[in-house]
Amino acid sequence: MNTYIDALLSLPHCRAIGEEPNYLHVYRDITRDVPARGNQVPDAHLAAVLSQHGVVTLYTHDRDFRKFSFLDVRDPLE
């Protein structure tokens, strides 16, 4: 598994992203418009991380991400 991850991260167009210092501020802003409860908590967490890194397009079959207005959610199965 680590070999696969190392190979993936060695690609020039791939990078790992995570929480930046102002993460909680961004999370609070996002959950002000879309309250996070239950299964929506990890979605809001990921949305906040994506927002911090300027990601605006998300390919996912999970329709819950459409609640976040800054994301252009595209279903790869359609």
* Confidence at residue 35, expressed as pLDDT on a 0 to 100 scale: 87
In sequence order, what are the beta bridge partners of 59?
A: 74
Q: What is the pLDDT of residues 1-56, one digit of tens each?
A: 688 889 999 999 998 999 999 999 999 999 998 889 998 999 999 999 999 999 99
* Domain chopping of the chain, boundaries: 17-74
Distance in angstroms (rounded) separating the CA atoms of residues 36 and 32 = 9
CA–CA–CA angle 14, 20, 26 (5° rounding): 110
* Confidence at residue 1, expressed as pLDDT on a 0 to 100 scale: 61
Q: SS3 for 74? A: strand
